[in-house]
Structure 1
Amino acid sequence: MAAVVLVHGLYHRPEHFAVVAERLRTAGTEVVVPELHRGSLAADTAAVQAVIDALPEPPIVLGHSYGGSVITGVHGAGHLVYLAAFVLDAGESAASLGGASPQLQNAIITEPDGSTSLHPDRAINALYGDCPEPIAAQAVDLLRPQAPGCGRGVPQRHAWKTTSSTYVVCAQDRAVDPDLQRRMASRCTDVREWQTDHSPFVGQPDLVVELLRELLAKSKSVRRSMSAAQQGS
């Protein structure tokens, strides 16, 4: 079975995907959740590429929000999933496409060293608006400061042009405009739309797990068909 690589967005940590990862692992799927925050889009992309390169077969790679900028630059994925994420073309960055909504921008606090963090109460409203209060509070506690400049990074590759992809529009998103998501989704092979906020892996993890299980099953079916064809040739 193909592995799953989960790529978080700005301010987030691998721990935000804990529920999704645990449920997939319980079903026997290998899941890797690399830590970003390497200081630049290029460094973050290299960290994810190293994970993909270490796996025995092409994985399903999901990127959330800024994580879409990261997975756009990788090669060797079996399928890409953009979850309310940035699907960038040549010369584009997350910032140049519109980046954070005014609501999310209002939550950003600039630190003396140039890094930014999120105001806790405003972050709940922007990122976790449809989550139960205790779960939203836990998610906010996990958020970490973000080095400057990552959102302005431009990927050197555009994996969605050669790799099958699924875009998930989060229709109640208050961090990345759903209309911008729909425009970016037109670049992908398949499009889904969920009535969720920006972070369904926190508030509605079953949706994410079910999608990934569906894609894993399709990947397995394709591999079986290819194997049968090779044996018959």
Structure 2
Amino acid sequence: MTTPDTPTVVLVHGAFADASSFARVIPQLLADGLNVVAPAVPNRSLVGDSAYIASVVRRIPGPVVLVGHSYGGAVITVAGAEENVRALVYLAGYALQEGESLGELQGGFPDSELASALVYSPFPTEGGDGEGTDVSVEVDRLPAIFAADVDPELTRVLAVSQRPLAAAAFGEAAPTVAWRTKPSWGIVATADRTINPDVQRFGYHRAGATAVEVDSSHLVMLAHPERVVDVIREAVRTVTG
């Protein structure tokens, strides 16, 4: 039975994916007696997406452990400033510095294979008075780049059900960084072909995160759910004392 003091684990997905990417993690967290929320991130802008996740967090009455995968790491960096967030967990994610964008952090390191597989598609902006650009991954290349060690049948589904990220999100700077005042953990996916593992290592080191390395593709939550749950549990133990 959960109580008002039971931590809630909020799972924030990244670009080109949705909350179902946590499907192998959620049952284990629920079995631990934890509250779990896995919202749909709009993937429209870093500031807007962070504000949305912050609004989800504010509706939760007790302590929160905020978990972000990939682009979701940038989102929790900002949204984690909410008062009831007690810990951050990065999964193959971006731990940004204040005033830094995804493009700036990533630009300091060699490109991953993802860079050559991106597809840019126009979409109408709200009100129809302009045009934005969505970024997705070539369907035929997503399984190998994104999830090489995940069941091939599933990766084919993931490839055709991508949730794109608006290109504008890559250039927006983080207005605040929660890791300055809150403990953080990070998983480096050492076989990642989507985000250069050195980008992950650098961000985690700068944030003072407790980092572990896992021989995994980018979708570490589906490839190695037990390792991910172990790290989340460690963060939860810090919250519960």
TM over 0.5: yes
Correspondence 1:103 to 2:123: no
User: What is the CA–CA distance in structure 2 between the aligned matches of 1:40 and 1:199, rounded to whole Å?
Assistant: 22
Using the TM superposition, name which of 121-130 and 204-213 deviates more. 204-213
For the Cα contact (< 8 Å) 2:112–2:196, is it kept in 1? Answer: no
Matched, 1:134 2:153: yes
Aligned pair in 2 of structure 1 residues 179, 189: CA closer, same or farther (>3 Å)?
A: closer
Tell me if 1:84 matches 2:95.
no
Pair 116,38 (structure 1): closer, same or farther in 2 beyond 3 Å: closer
Cα offset, 1:38, TM superposition: 5.0
Gaps of 5+ in 2: 1-5, 124-132
Number of residues paired by the alignment? 221
Q: Is 1:209 matched with 2:209? A: no
User: In structure 2, which of residues 53, 71, 78 is the aligned counterpart of residue 66 of structure 1?
Assistant: 71
* Aligned counterpart, 1:181: 200
Aligned residue in 1 for 2:128: none
Alignment identity in percent?
31
Q: Deviations over 1:7-65 (max 9, x none)?
A: 11112111211221232123321111121125211110011101211112221111111
- Tell whether the 8 Å contact from 1:135 to 1:203 is kept in structure 2 after alignment: no
Instruction: Measure, in 2, the Cα distance between the counterparts of 1:90 and 1:27.
Output: 34
* Aligned twin of 1:191: 211
The residue type paired with residue 209 of structure 1 is V
Partner residue of 1:227? Answer: none
User: Cα distance 1:174–1:40, how it changes in 2: closer, same or farther (>3 A)?
Assistant: same
Q: CA RMSD for the aligned pairs?
A: 1.8
Q: C-alpha separation between the residues in 1 aligned to 2:47 and 2:112?
A: 26
Residue 37 of structure 2 is matched in structure 1 by 32
Task: Tell me the equivalent position of 2:182.
Answer: 163
Question: In structure 2, what is the equivalent of residue 230 of structure 1?
Answer: none
Q: TM-score, normalized by length of structure 1?
A: 0.88
Q: Which residue identity is paired with 2:96?
A: L
Q: Is the 8 A contact 1:167 1:191 kept in 2?
A: yes
1:39-94: per-residue Cα shift (whole Å, max 9, x none)?
21111001110121111222111111111111111223110011111111122111
Gaps of 5+ in 1: 223-233
Output the CA distance in 2 between the equivalents of 1:84 and 1:101.
15
- Measured after TM superposition, the shift of residue 150 of structure 1 is 1.0
AA partner of residue 100 (structure 2): E
Counterpart residue identity of residue 90, structure 1: E
Please report the TM-score for the alignment, with normalisation by the length of structure 2. Answer: 0.85
